[in-house]
A = this chain, B = another copy of it.
């Protein structure tokens, strides 16, 4: 385990036509989906994948995601995602990502925080004792030069938008899927925002699960032209997730 290159997984993609927005760039939701898939591939190749875990009644739960980008791939462009494990604690593990252009230029980085829970009890598992603690063998000290997920606090007292969770929002676990929240949150902003600006940094904090039929209220704080925070609540007052969005002029 001396060579860190073995600890970094790399997966190749292409920006498909229905995966880009009106500017022709990959959407944040699709990038998020790819990141989570890469986490899954990388974990599965090392014996910690969802399928293996599910057999033992455990599953990974995404807690935090922070993405910071200089550029998004354009339609039909090939790109790669690298992923590695930065830290393993008793209840959480930090997994990082790099987004690379076809030529290998770094377009951005992402950080994620995961817990493992029992599917029976929904209680967290101790990562350091699982498989005899072998998950720590995959810890890699490649740097990830973006700040960690930050604290998000929303003050708005009236929702900026509301919707009811429908069939297409629900994943195999019966929860509103993590990617749909990203799409619904980005839909809070007018098209003109994306004409003038791009997302420089995007954060999600997943707090509780949403279910089919839940009314989801989106509370939005605007700090200035470029900085926004969102809190999604279900059934009036229970926080489901929070997000922080930083735009920059194109």
Contact = CB atoms under 8 A, between A and B. Distances in A.
A137 interface: no
Interface string A184-212: 10110111001000000000000000001
B189 A167 contact: yes
Interface in A6-30: 16-18, 20-24, 27, 29
A51 B17 CA distance: 11
Q: How many copies make up the complex?
A: 2
A224 B33 CA distance: 37
A172 interface: yes
A177 interface: yes
Contacts of A27: 168
A212 B193 CA distance: 13
A176 to B, nearest CB: 10
A249 to B, nearest CB: 18
A108 B187 CA distance: 34
Interface size class of chain A, counting residues whose CB lies under 8 Å from the partner chain: 35 or more
A70 interface: no
Pick the 7 closest A-B CB pairs, nearest first: A166-B187, A22-B170, A168-B183, A24-B172, A191-B212, A18-B33, A18-B179
B194 A17 contact: no
B186 A20 contact: no
Nearest to A173: B22
A186 B168 contact: yes
A174 interface: yes
A228 interface: no
Contacts of A179: 18
A50 B170 contact: no
Contact of A187 (B50, B75, B167): B167
A190 B213 CA distance: 9
A193 to B, nearest CB: 8
A172 B167 CA distance: 26
A4 interface: no
A173 B20 CA distance: 10
